[in-house]
Every structure is written in C-alpha cells, then in structure tokens.
A and B are shown apart, each in its own frame.
Chain A
Amino acid sequence: MATAQTIEFREPASRVAEGAKSLMPAPAPSPVGDDGDLVGEKMVLNMGPSHPSTHGVLRIVLELDGEIITKATPDVGYLHRGDEKIAENMTYTQFIPYTDRLDYLAPLANNVAYAMAVEKLLGIEKQLPPRCHYIRVICCEMARISAHLLGLGAFAMDIGALTVFLHTFTEREKIYSLIERLTGARFTTSYTRIGGLSRDLPPGWADALRKFCDEVEVNFAESETLLTRNRIFVDRTRNVGIISGADAIDYGLTGPNLRGSGVDYDVRKAHPYLVYGELDFEVPVGSVGDSYDRYLVRMEEMRQSVRIIRQCLDRLPGGGDNESKEPINVPDGKVVLPAKDKVLTSMEELIHQFMLVTQGVNAPPGEVYFGAENPKGELGFYINSRGGGTPYRLKIRAPSFCNLSILPHVLPGHMMSDVVSILGSIDFVMGECDR
C-alpha cells in the first residue's frame, strides 16, 4: 500500500530568514560607546503574530535596548484575503457579506457604511425612507457599543484587570442576542441592502433594546469604577503612548484615537449622514493624547451611543412594531428587490427581479468616496464605477490600517510592557487592517 516517498526539502528556514531580513534592523555597532563605556547590545524581539495583546495577527519586530524600545517595525498582512479584488468580480449586493468580515467586531456598522457608499454612487441617498435612517443609526450605535465594550475589556485584560473583561462581555452577549433577533446572525449580519434593509425590526425588539439600554448604563458605571480611578490602570496608561494632535492628523488617525489626541473630528458631526444631524449627542475629546485619554473617550462614546439609541427609538417612524407600515426601502424596483407576491404576478416586477439578481443595480459611471464614523475610525469606501452592476475598483479605507501606521513613531522610547498598553488603547482589528 504505502510507498516510500522522497521529500524535497526546500530549505524553508533559509527562505524565511531571507524574507525576515528586510524586517530586521541592521546589527548594532561595536559595543563600546563614544565615551569608551560599554553599551548594551541591542536585542531584537519578535512580538506576534500570535500574541494575546496583538488582538489577532499583528506582528511587531521590536529592537530593544534593555527594556526600552529603540525601533518598532510592524508587519501586517497575515489576514489578507483580497477583499478589494473580490469586490471587482461581483455585484454590489453580493459584496455586503464581505463587509461583515472587515471590522468583525462591528459588522452592522460596516454594512451601513458600505450601503451608504453605493447609494451615494447611485444618487439615491435622499430617497431613503426615514424609518430606514433611524434603524441604520440604531445599528451603527449598537455596533459601536459592542466594539468598544470588547476593546475596553481586552485593553484592561491585557494590562492585568481581568474582571472588566467579564463585565463587558456580559453586556456584549446581550447585544449579540439582540442582533441575532434582528438579523438572524450573531456575527455575520449582512443586514443592509443597497437602498434599504433586509428586514424590519422584529416584534417586541424595540422594547428589548430599551431594556438593554437601561442595563448597559449600569454596566458602564461598574466598569468605570473598576478602571478610571484604579491606581494600577492609571499608572500603566497615563502619559503612555502620547500622540500629539498634529501627529495624529499627519498619520491619518481617525475615530477615538484622533479624538483622544484632542482633535475634534467626528464624521457624524462634521458631515452628518443618516439622521445624525437631528440627534443630540456630544463628542468627547481628550487633552493629552495618551492611552488613558483614549480609554476615557471610548467610555464616554458608549454613553453617548446609548443616548442616540434612546432618541432614535423615541422618534422611530411607525414605532417599534411599525403598526403604520412605514417603508424601510427605497421605492424603486430597479434598486431594491420587489415584493415576492408582486414578482410572481406582475411582469414589470419580474423583470426588475431578474435584472437585479443577474446583473445587479445599474450604477452610473463615476467615482465616489464615502466615509462613515465607525467604532475604529473613519471607514471609507472609494468606488470607481464604469457603469453596470460591478465596481471597476473598490478601495476600502480601513481605519485600523491607518491607525496602526503610527506605531513606528509612537512606540520607540517606551518600555516593553507599555507596548501592550498602547496596542490595547489603539484598539485595532486585523480583519479590517489586512482586508
């Protein structure tokens, strides 16, 4: 049966070394310093790609002088799946499930951002019914709370406060139950459609969300008592990883990381999309730009999100159970799939259904950029269309990618143990960074 086989060894070790050579810094100069004293030899330490505090598959090559970092070289791309290439080969609607897998801690917010970008290209964003707007805002803010809860929990856990993680995960579980009732999936929601939503709110869901809002606020207070004045937490985050406002802008940081550095830029306020312009909420801004400020900004953002959700629930046209049958989709059969009973009885709807499924929406030639305020920062979609149902080029401006690019600037000079605190406070997702 089994035959002996010759195995070709292609010297993997030397190949890997060859590849890693470019990442490694040049060897340290002679161990004797200018003043004749012996200086310590620099050590190169590889952190990741599988390390608890790199939250996924980030690899950082650190050059250490004792415990002080002298150079940091991040290495990303371990989770690259070619999303942009994939997008060029399918219709706009078919790409929605792929957006779940960008920032996989806030899939609902990605769905909304992508749908808004395509709607901007189609020029139909003004036609969206108000109920759709409000539901989308609720989705975005739920995603924000869920992403920040995980971000804070993991951040605190990385620097030794394990309890917070258990607290925040309790609430996150409730959000996932709500999302499951809403979309049918806990994680891979694919909730939006071009020109609307896949379904309306299920009966009684709005009341469950109200109840959740009350509960989660108690939880914020609990988490805050565990962290904000916790001596160990403050010592490990205060004045650690300071990013000045100018640097943050220069590196293209967005989201809580930019606001933690004192720059008051929030896409929801600067360029209000959906109904953010009508809602009453504050944008928290840090003062120093250290890890502690970024933590405080996220903490407050969650409270503001709860505020936004409450306002949306109060103003939701048609109410929670939509008794007045408010529409949730654009009334255009060429954009949104027609109702099934119409498809089976009416010629025109049948044609629309057929065209939408086989060829997708007929987008005009042109190019748009749409940026949305996602939990991690500004998630932008640049769509270049040459007409038809497929983008010619779709570029994803991933906030985590830009946020991580500041690491070589911010890490040097810190202690080895501060890396964990800085990474936790920058709160990135590799699924989005590597795309």
Chain B
Amino acid sequence: MASAELANQLKAKFGDLLSTPSEFRGEVTLKLADTEHIAEVCEFAKKSLSYDMLLDITSIDNYGEDPRWTLVYELYGTGHGCHLRIKTEVSEEKSESPTVTGVWRGADWHEREIYDMMGIRFAGHPDLRRILMWDGYPYFPLRKDFPMAGKPTDLPDVAFTKPAPLEGGPFVTLPGAKDSIAREPRVRVPEH
C-alpha cells in the first residue's frame, strides 16, 4: 500500500508526535498528539510527500469527553493518487488550532466553516469570519449540545419594518414578537 508507505515516512520524520498509522477500510489515519504542530506536519506532507490537495477539513464534537474537539484533515496527492487522513485533538478550554491556510489556500473556507459551526478558532487565519451563518449569530450549531430544533435568535427582522396592509387582521403575522412562533396568527386567542 502506497498510502501506508507515505504515512510511515511522515511518522519517521515526526516520530512520537504521530501515532502509528492505523488502517480501516483501506484508509490510512495518523493521529497527531499536539495540535500546535499541525501546520508543520501538513507543510512536510505537501512539500516532501507531494500531498498537494487538501480535500476537506472536518471537526467532530466529542461531547462529554476530554479533549472535546477532533479535527480531521483529508489529504490527497494528485501525482501519486494516495489519500491520507490526519487527526488531531483540541481541548475545549483552548478551542484553537494553528491554521493551515499557509500550506493550502483552499483551507481558508474549510476553517471558516469549522469556526462557524463548531466554534474552534484557527490561529493565524487571514479572515476568520462566519461563513454559513450570518455575522453576529450567537451559537455554534453543530455542537452536540445545540438542540436539533434550534434556538430562537435575533435575526435582523428586515421583513417586519413596516405595518402590513392588513395589520391586526386575523390572518396576519405579528411583527416585533420575540420569535417566529409568537408571530404566528394561530397563537392569538380570537376575540369574540
């Protein structure tokens, strides 16, 4: 297996920082002990092992466990056609990991997405803003303690700036209520 060979070369370079490569369903995974070295490891993987493409970065919330976050980097080399997965863990208190945007520019949006969805920051990222949710959104929706049904938020209520022509009528959504459920006409008690 060529992926396993390349993983062993990476392991040989970084020694105890990396775990021995494990294999599941033909995919090789390496675990990095200290997240602070992720950029170096990736740099070496790109420059010396020609993993020139970053397919994806994933974050996992191991809710109730310590460390809470896992970052999963999915590497690919277009030259040799081998995949490699590097995993690293980040504690909840720290919630920060070095950026790999300096290695692959494509990491930019992936890291922004992780910041947006999980709340893990990337030190040195050139433009760490929310990407899918709007700026000023207060929660991190992919965390396991975020409820599936969502939480009411202060969405800028641009749609409710002016009174509707039928304002106050029986089938008209009320503006200004604190969430969308309270704005529904059905929750109002009909007057007789």
Q: Which A residues are within 8 Å of any B CB, using their own CB?
A: 1-10, 12, 15-16, 18-19, 22, 76-77, 80, 82, 84-86, 89, 120-121, 123, 249-253, 263, 265, 270-271, 366-369, 371, 378, 380, 382, 384, 392-393, 395, 397, 401-402, 404-406, 409, 434-435
Give the dominant DSSP class at B's interface. loop
Contacts A1-B191, A5-B174, A270-B81; is A121 near B168 (CB within 8 Å)?
A: no
Contact with A along B99-126 (1 / 0, CB 8 A): 0000011101100010001000000000
> B48 at the A/B interface (Cβ < 8 Å)?
no
Query: Which residues in B have their C-beta under 8 angstroms from that of A434?
Result: 132
Whether the Cβ atoms of B108 and A405 lie closer than 8 Å is: yes
Whether the Cβ atoms of B81 and A395 lie closer than 8 Å is: no
A409 CA to B104 CA, complexed, in Å: 13
Whether the Cβ atoms of B53 and A252 lie closer than 8 Å is: yes
Whether the Cβ atoms of A251 and B106 lie closer than 8 Å is: yes
Whether the Cβ atoms of A402 and B109 lie closer than 8 Å is: yes
Contact with A along B53-74 (1 / 0, CB 8 A): 1111010110000000000101
Whether the Cβ atoms of B135 and A22 lie closer than 8 Å is: yes
> Can you spell out 9 A-B residue pairs with CB atoms less than 8 angstroms apart?
A22-B129, A84-B142, A120-B25, A250-B104, A265-B78, A366-B24, A380-B56, A380-B74, A382-B56
Whether the Cβ atoms of A369 and B56 lie closer than 8 Å is: yes
A290 CA to B155 CA, complexed, in Å: 40
> B133 at the A/B interface (Cβ < 8 Å)?
yes
When C-beta atoms are compared, the residue in chain B nearest to A263 turns out to be B78
Query: Which residues in B have their C-beta under 8 angstroms from that of A404?
Result: 109
When C-beta atoms are compared, the residue in chain B nearest to A73 turns out to be B127
Contacts A2-B169, A19-B134; is A395 near B161 (CB within 8 Å)?
A: no
Whether the Cβ atoms of A402 and B106 lie closer than 8 Å is: yes
Whether the Cβ atoms of A9 and B24 lie closer than 8 Å is: no
A158 CA to B168 CA, complexed, in Å: 44
Whether the Cβ atoms of B136 and A18 lie closer than 8 Å is: yes
Query: Which residues in B have their C-beta under 8 angstroms from that of A270?
Result: 81
Query: Which residues in A have their C-beta under 8 angstroms from that of B21?
Result: none
Whether the Cβ atoms of A250 and B52 lie closer than 8 Å is: yes
A84 CA to B144 CA, complexed, in Å: 12
Query: Which residues in B have their C-beta under 8 angstroms from that of A123?
Result: 25
- Which of A22, A252, A271, A405 gathers most chain B CB within 10 Å? A252
When C-beta atoms are compared, the residue in chain B nearest to A10 turns out to be B157
Contacts A19-B136, A252-B106, A380-B74; is A368 near B24 (CB within 8 Å)?
A: yes
When C-beta atoms are compared, the residue in chain B nearest to A409 turns out to be B105
- Which of A86, A369, A397 gathers most chain B CB within 10 Å? A369
Whether the Cβ atoms of A4 and B25 lie closer than 8 Å is: no
Query: Which residues in A have their C-beta under 8 angstroms from that of B161?
Result: 9, 12
A201 CA to B74 CA, complexed, in Å: 37
Whether the Cβ atoms of A85 and B148 lie closer than 8 Å is: yes
User: How far apart are A194's CB and chain B's nearest CB, in angstroms?
Assistant: 15
> B98 at the A/B interface (Cβ < 8 Å)?
no
What's the interface size class on B, roughly? Answer: 35 or more
Pairs A-B, 3 closest by C-beta atoms: A252-B106, A77-B132, A2-B168
Contact with A along B144-180 (1 / 0, CB 8 A): 0010100000101110110100011100001110000
> B11 at the A/B interface (Cβ < 8 Å)?
no
Query: Which residues in B have their C-beta under 8 angstroms from that of A252?
Result: 53-55, 104, 106
Query: Which residues in B have their C-beta under 8 angstroms from that of A250?
Result: 52-53, 104-106
A5 CA to B174 CA, complexed, in Å: 9
A7 CA to B156 CA, complexed, in Å: 15
Whether the Cβ atoms of B157 and A12 lie closer than 8 Å is: yes
Choose among B106, B117, B129, B175 the residue that contacts A405 (Cβ–Cβ < 8 A): B106
User: How far apart are B184's CB and chain A's nearest CB, in angstroms?
Assistant: 15
Query: Which residues in A have their C-beta under 8 angstroms from that of B74?
Result: 369, 380, 382, 397
Choose among A85, A251, A366, A380 the residue that contacts B105 (Cβ–Cβ < 8 A): A251
Choose among A6, A19, A76, A89 the residue that contacts B148 (Cβ–Cβ < 8 A): A89
Query: Which residues in A have their C-beta under 8 angstroms from that of B27?
Result: 367-369
A2 CA to B172 CA, complexed, in Å: 11
Query: Which residues in B have their C-beta under 8 angstroms from that of A18?
Result: 135-136
When C-beta atoms are compared, the residue in chain B nearest to A21 turns out to be B135
Whether the Cβ atoms of B176 and A82 lie closer than 8 Å is: no
Whether the Cβ atoms of A405 and B109 lie closer than 8 Å is: yes
Query: Which residues in B have their C-beta under 8 angstroms from that of A84?
Result: 117, 142
Whether the Cβ atoms of A12 and B158 lie closer than 8 Å is: yes
A249 CA to B103 CA, complexed, in Å: 12
> B185 at the A/B interface (Cβ < 8 Å)?
no
Whether the Cβ atoms of A77 and B54 lie closer than 8 Å is: no
Query: Which residues in A have their C-beta under 8 angstroms from that of B135?
Result: 18-19, 22
A253 CA to B83 CA, complexed, in Å: 16
When C-beta atoms are compared, the residue in chain B nearest to A378 turns out to be B55
User: How far apart are B114's CB and chain A's nearest CB, in angstroms?
Assistant: 10
Whether the Cβ atoms of A249 and B136 lie closer than 8 Å is: no
Choose among B24, B108, B132, B167 the residue that contacts A5 (Cβ–Cβ < 8 A): B167
Contact with A along B19-37 (1 / 0, CB 8 A): 0000011010100000000
When C-beta atoms are compared, the residue in chain B nearest to A80 turns out to be B132
> B131 at the A/B interface (Cβ < 8 Å)?
yes
Choose among B105, B129, B141, B175 the residue that contacts A7 (Cβ–Cβ < 8 A): B175
